[in-house]
Amino acid sequence: MRTCRLPRRIGLMATLVLACFSSAGCDDAGDKPEGSTDHQASPEHSKQPAEQNDTERFVMYRLASVIIPPDSRHRKDIALNHPPKIYVIVKKNGEQIGETSAAIRGWEVEFPRNDKHTYRIDSDRTATYSLELWDDQWTNELILSITELEFDSFDGPIHERQGIYDPPELATVIKFVRSE
């Protein structure tokens, strides 16, 4: 008897029992323990739960602000405009989602409430998100990238990851708010 798992994307973790019928194999009678029954995929076992049949759960988030603190290493970066003209790109599994945000000049930037700054974040636990913060100039300079974000990361401020000896108050902060 062999078992296998269904692909993860189906969302149904079930074990299928496959009978072996090979030349060295088993016959039908000797393959099952006494008192066992066939566990073939019946319609009730193969159905996904009702909530999984509906559209995948998601939340709309709006880019609210970016704050680069006064003593941040980014303020000392001579490759950036002073102050930079900041824009943000949101990616899901390495692919850009939504539009690139508007480019706004400043070290502390508030983004206007509009559809251009709104992103659909799926609750799919296999999805990973990343944020890229750019300085809009003739050659466009990457300021920072924050990777391996999950669905619930967008519910609070997202802090730049720094070295273990860097004080947390020097981290750039990107904030999203839930959009109605």
- The CATH number assigned to the domain holding 149 equals 2.60.40.150
pLDDT at res. 91: 94
Do residue 168 and residue 102 come from a single domain? yes
Mean pLDDT of 50-60: 60
Which residues in 62-82 are b (16+ Cβ under 10 Å) and which e? bbbebbbbeebebeeeeebee
Distance (Å, whole) CA 151 – CA 154: 6
Do residue 35 and residue 12 come from a single domain? yes
Phi-psi map region of 112: left, alpha, beta (phi>0 left; psi -120 to 50 alpha): beta
Whether the CB-CB separation of 176 and 62 falls below 8 Å is answered with yes
Quote the domain boundaries for residue 157.
58-178
Do residue 62 and residue 150 come from a single domain? yes
Do residue 31 and residue 108 come from a single domain? no
pLDDT at res. 166: 83
User: Tens digits of per-residue pLDDT, 58-107?
Assistant: 888 999 999 999 999 999 999 898 999 999 999 999 999 988 999 999 99
> pTM, whole model, 2 decimals?
0.66
User: Residue 142: is its pLDDT beyond 90?
Assistant: yes
Distance (Å, whole) CA 58 – CA 98: 14
Strands (E) located in 6-161: 15-18, 58-67, 85-92, 95-97, 104-105, 108-110, 118-122, 129-135, 141-149, 158-159
Do residue 86 and residue 21 come from a single domain? no
CA dist list (Å): 107 to 28, 36, 52, 96, 110: 73, 69, 43, 24, 10
Number of folded domains that form the chain: 2
Nearest residue to 125 (alpha-carbon basis) of 88, 159, 157, 93: 93
